[in-house]
Amino acid sequence: MSLSLAPGAGRDCLVVDDSRVVRKAARRVLEGFGYAVREAEDGAVALAACREALPDLVLLDWNMPVLDGMGFLRAARAEFGRERPLVVLCTTENGMDRILTALEEGAQEYVMKPFDAEILGGKLEQLGLLLAAAA
């Protein structure tokens, strides 16, 4: 099975992670789905990037220096609202309390690291951003 962007789906994604390796891996996966991808190494850089051009989707790490994922999420929701950008938290934080906190603060989905194209594609499909197609 392969996945592609749903008609009308957002095509811009900001990948926010302090790990260059994770950002590059996420970029490859997202570009494979047809996204234009920008990168930020922390939440402060990500907020500045959002102010320049609000992405359709943010793939967000929780634990980062300067401004962590939850700090970014709270600031983004206060500044841009709860509808956009869509936020998928991508992290090693796996406690149910952490997941609930992220969803309550405005994340639309939660993906555990490590992830692959199938896992991320499935989450994006649930958000209506991707369509499955027969291989």
104-113 residue pLDDT tens: 999 999 988 8
Q: Is residue 135 part of a domain?
A: no
pTM listed for this prediction: 0.88
Q: Is residue 120 part of a domain?
A: yes
Number of domains in the chain: 1
Give the whole-angstrom CA distance, residue 31 versus residue 43. Answer: 22
Q: Is residue 33 part of a domain?
A: yes
DSSP 8-state code for residue 6 = P
Cβ burial of 96 (10 Å; 0-12, 13-18, 19+) is exposed
Q: At 49, which CATH number?
A: 3.40.50.2300
Q: Is residue 134 part of a domain?
A: no
Domain that holds residue 25: 2-129
Cβ burial of 133 (10 Å; 0-12, 13-18, 19+) is exposed
What SS3 class is residue 115?
coil
6-59 residue pLDDT tens: 555 568 999 999 999 999 999 999 999 889 999 999 999 999 999 999 999 999
